[in-house]
Amino acid sequence: MLSIYELVSVLLCLGLVKAIRDILIARESGRIPSPPGAPRLPIIGNALTIPKRAPWEVYATWWQKYNSDLVGIYAFGHLSIIVNTRKAARELYERRSTVYADRPQLTMINLMGWDFDTSLIPYNDEWRAHRKIFHHNLNTWNAPAHHPVQLAQTEILLKSLYTDPHEFENHLRRYAASIALSIAYGYNVDSNTDNILKIAEEAIDMVSKALVPGAMAVNAIPALRYLPDWFPGTGFKQFAKRSMDLVTKMQDMPFAHVKRSMAEGTASPSVASSEIELINARGEGEQGEKYLKRALGTFFTAGADTTFSALLTGILALVLHPAVQTRARAELDQVVGRGRLPTFADRSLLPYVTAICRETLRWHIVSPLTIPHCPTQDDVYDGMFIPKGTPIMMNAWAILHNHDPDAFKPERFLTEEGTLNDDEVPFVFGLGRRNCAGMHFASATLWIMMASVLAVFNISKARDEQGNDIPVEVAYTDGMVSTSLPFRCSIQPRDHAAEELMEQIGDANV
Ligand code: HEM
């Protein structure tokens, strides 16, 4: 044990080391080079060469070309940095996590009302309050409390796929949204035209457009926000107002629904109702409710699109890899049998199914450049200067796509004996203090969907009128959440036993 004297000395030394490091960084910053990058034009920098298609793949080639863990992109005097290696990602996001836990603040995000979202807010007290709510409800130990909701929604999904397989993409989208809204508010999405769902989807669509680099001039020149509404080129203001209206409704409507049903004694169990009870018991009042309402909004905005993207990739991988389906079914039949659907209790006995899910997350990464972090102070990494506030993006795609990257091989995640290895696809859910707050929950949703679909359906390429296979292309959108472009496939019950199981499930809520 250290004495108080020794402890104080250690703390003083640490403080001194940090102070000296800060002074050195400040003095050296003028001389230390920034991360290398593509050749730049005067003023606009790389603005014209920022890749529009699959930028993560282009940035990965820059890493090799400039032989640097970090590469820089300049546009109109603003630097952004891409982290292309595991070593640098671990060093900055984990070892220096207190410095790299902030998020860049874009003017348009605030004007559009998106400063409620846990994944976008600064590293401050409100963020800590949000993370507490997520932790309390979705950490490894508490996430299983939501298994009943996931199982019930999975049955609805299976029935929808059985009765209307062509609409599989819509069914998966509704499944991801229903699970998010159901655990957050106990709210049942009754169709793809559900009012709250429509509002939330439009709000997300608008913010995705505003986040495209270079899409909104006001992000580069914040003073534009003060121009009068009639001034040419201020269409962004109308856009922002529409978004603000949607974002407010998206948070207020389901929250009011929970409070009303709590007062009437009819509330379904949900994160909202249990956290409201806690807020009341602790006397946290308006401030507590405000933070809760905003964190709950994030359950949908951070959880629905991302989960949908992973689910769709899972189906795409199965269409293209019939041998993977055969091996998974052999495992499922042995462990689960043919008379029931898989449950979470089977999870530890189905390593191959779990390996398929991990490979799904690696094969196409849902958020290949993750969400930008930014440092709260000037910093130096490996002789490169990183100014305070610089947006830093981790290229998870580059980090996880190095050995035979395009092949879909669940075996990557298995030992020779067929058990799971220790590789849990880190990086896919980010790193450090701002890592994904719903990762255990999201992995569980992907797992139960894949296990259940594999247990009852054969997934194959769709056929045209002449009986020929319709080719399936692997093509993805380029946004912060990257999703497969629509593809066609056939989803049919495996056999009579699977049909019987489907008939036993209650009617889909469609
Ligand atoms: C397969 C599905 C999902 C994937 C791949 C995913 C991935 C990510 C990634 C890459 C980040 C950024 C991490 C970073 O900046 O280092 C993130 C943040 C976040 N995710 Fe997820 N996510 C998924 C599902 C979910 C779900 C279901 C929820 C909640 C219901 C959720 C809640 C969050 C939150 C709150 C943040 C922001 C964390 C912060 O800024 O402190 N995510 N996620």
Q: Say if ligand 1 is within 6 A of residue 176 CB.
A: no
Residue 81 main-chain phi, psi, to 5 deg: -125, 140
Q: Which residue's C-alpha comes closest to atom 37 of ligand 1?
A: 119
Range(s) of the domain holding residue 459: 119-364+415-504
- B/e letters for 97-126, b = 16+ CB within 10 Å, e = fewer, are eebbbbbbebbbbebbbbbbbbbbbebeeb
Amino acid of residue 157: L
- Let me know if residue 497 belongs to a domain: yes
- Minimal CA–CA distance to 353: which of 328, 333, 327? 328
Contact 142, 269 (CB under 8 A): no
Mean pLDDT estimate for the chain: 90
State the total domains in the chain.
1
**What is the C-alpha to C-alpha distance for residues 98 and 177, in angstroms, rounded to an integer?**
33
Q: Say if ligand 1 is within 6 A of residue 38 CB.
A: no
Per-residue pLDDT tens digits for 129-182: 999 999 999 988 888 899 999 999 999 999 999 999 999 999 999 999 999 999
Per-residue pLDDT tens digits for 193-242: 788 999 998 999 898 888 776 678 888 788 889 999 999 889 999 999 99
Q: Say if ligand 1 is within 6 A of residue 182 CB.
A: no
Residue 345 reports pLDDT greater than 90: yes
- Let me know if residue 74 belongs to a domain: no
Q: Which residue's C-alpha comes closest to atom 9 of ligand 1?
A: 429
Q: What is the CATH number of the domain that holds 271?
A: 1.10.630.10
Please work out, in degrees rounded to the nearest 5, the angle formed at the alpha carbon of residue 448 by the alpha carbons of 446 and 450. 65
**What is the C-alpha to C-alpha distance for residues 444 and 257, in angstroms, rounded to an integer?**
27
Q: Can you tell me the mean pLDDT for 260-286?
A: 94
Q: Say if ligand 1 is within 6 A of residue 134 CB.
A: yes
Percent of residues, the chain, with pLDDT higher than 90? 75
Contact 461, 489 (CB under 8 A): yes
Per-residue pLDDT tens digits for 83-140: 999 999 999 999 999 999 999 998 999 999 999 999 999 999 999 999 999 999 998 8
- Let me know if residue 102 belongs to a domain: no
Q: Which residue's C-alpha comes closest to atom 7 of ligand 1?
A: 429
Whole-number pLDDT of residue 12: 41
- Let me know if residue 60 belongs to a domain: no
User: Residue 121 gets which letter from DSSP?
Assistant: S
- Nearest atom in ligand 1 to the alpha carbon of residue 103 is 40
Q: Say if ligand 1 is within 6 A of residue 449 CB.
A: no
Q: Say if ligand 1 is within 6 A of residue 442 CB.
A: yes
**What is the C-alpha to C-alpha distance for residues 25 and 375, in angstroms, rounded to an integer?**
14
Q: Say if ligand 1 is within 6 A of residue 430 CB.
A: yes
Q: Which residue's C-alpha comes closest to atom 17 of ligand 1?
A: 436
Please work out, in degrees rounded to the nearest 5, the angle formed at the alpha carbon of residue 441 by the alpha carbons of 509 and 249. 60
**What is the C-alpha to C-alpha distance for residues 113 and 256, in angstroms, rounded to an integer?**
19
Residue 191 reports pLDDT greater than 90: no
- Nearest atom in ligand 1 to the alpha carbon of residue 365 is 5
Q: Can you tell me the mean pLDDT for 298-315?
A: 96
- Let me know if residue 375 belongs to a domain: no
- Let me know if residue 209 belongs to a domain: yes
Per-residue pLDDT tens digits for 258-267: 999 999 999 9
pLDDT band at 402 (very low <50, low <70, confident <90, very high): confident
**What is the C-alpha to C-alpha distance for residues 329 and 406, in angstroms, rounded to an integer?**
23
Distance of CA 31 to the CA centre of its chain: 38
Q: Which residue's C-alpha comes closest to atom 43 of ligand 1?
A: 436
Q: Which residue's C-alpha comes closest to atom 35 of ligand 1?
A: 437
- Let me know if residue 232 belongs to a domain: yes
Least confident of 219-233, 446-460, 464-478: 219-233
Q: Say if ligand 1 is within 6 A of residue 501 CB.
A: no
> Exposed, middle or buried by CB within 10 Å (0-12, 13-18, 19+), for 497?
middle
Cα 138 to ligand 1 centre (Å): 12
* Strands 78-83, 392-394: pairing kind: parallel
Contact 393, 369 (CB under 8 A): yes
- Nearest atom in ligand 1 to the alpha carbon of residue 367 is 10
* Strands 489-493, 457-461: pairing kind: antiparallel
- Nearest atom in ligand 1 to the alpha carbon of residue 442 is 27
- Let me know if residue 41 belongs to a domain: no
